[in-house]
Chain A
Amino acid sequence: MAKKVFGRPKSLKEAIYHYCPGCGHSIVHRLVAEVIDELDIRGITIGVPPAGCAVLAYNYFDVDMIEAQHGRGPATATGIKRSLPDRIVFSYQGDGDLAAIGIAESFHAANRGENITVIFINNAVYGMTGGQMAPTTMLEQKTTTTPAGRNRTLDGYPVKVCELFSQLRGTTYIERCTVNSPASVNKTKKAIKKAFQCQIDGKGFSLIEILSPCPTNWKLNAIDSCKWIDEVMSKEFPLGVFKDNLAPVKKTGEADPC
């Protein structure tokens, strides 16, 4: 008898994604669902999807969800978590949601050290509204609102969320990953699992930023999009762990950076 080694995670509904071919959202959805299954927390998890491409995430995740207004996910998640401290609460946010319209809500939820998990999709562009500049759009990158490329004097610089948030004393675990190769997908899953475990253990605010391909708005094919992450995007947004207060206690004399 054949042994089933791969299937739909229980925390995903039987639904077909509306995401474009090559989009990173579908992969990340799956990873989050797999982690929820593996940690056996489906029944106690409440998710907060954003406004943006993932606005319909409640059609895919088979966990309780409440859709937040644009950018307000971490505030809504704070309300849920403080009311039900033993539930697992995550907000799922895009770059506009987290780093532009909702930077205050995200920043202060992090600074308060809310015991929630933020899944942050950075694709350097506004996907759902049709390819406008995001706070994380690269310098010189062309979007529909930066037709001549992002201009540092007019548009400012890409916002580096992990670098910023890791400076906040309220944060516990912060890592930047990507999903442009099987290896990076596996790595991202580990990071997401660590972030949820951080919350389960009551250790505080965790944020996983995922550099995610958007072939449609990057005007690249799926393979070139994955390459673009390696060759361009991750130069501006280096991958790695930015904050890990879960790590074993350091040797005496070694100062904590924050």
Chain B
Amino acid sequence: MLIKTIFSGFGGQGVLMMGFSLAQSAMNKGYQVTYLPAYGAEVRGGTANCTIAVGDEEIASPVASEPDYLVVMNSPSLTTFQNKIISGGTIFLNSSIIEARPSRKDVRVYAIPCGDIAQELGNIRAANIVMMGTFIKITKILPAEDYLKSIETIMGGKKKSVTEINRKAFAIGFDFVKN
């Protein structure tokens, strides 16, 4: 198994956090992982993206020329990456702010209003965790509980209320879609 995912969005949407938490939890689960952030001039001007590879053997290239999954949190990211994804792959998009839909017919698309859901929960910053709920449910890369445990370790010092919102946000995202 070798799964490559690109997470992309505005800086501040927690895009790198999504990738890092996936890599961290997959590592804890015993998988080989790589995390490759975009850097330098390409992340100036407010966009951010990272590529995560999860595998059960040594990962050759951390670059994804044809990612299996694409998680896009804003419109420019969809434009940039939708044509890279492998045929038969899956796109997760933040439908709270992305109006367009991918033109490709050979990919599955999940449109999650994760911004709105997070807003209703009282913290727009939890939008990325809502999305991760859906992502984990559909991709089944690892069990939900393992992911949640990792994210709590990563958030370590944060207040209990943050942990609770994260759990709720994750659960809503998870239940938003059917298998």
A and B in direct contact, judged by CB atoms within 8 A = no
A-binding residues in B (CB < 8 A): none
B-binding residues in A (CB < 8 A): none
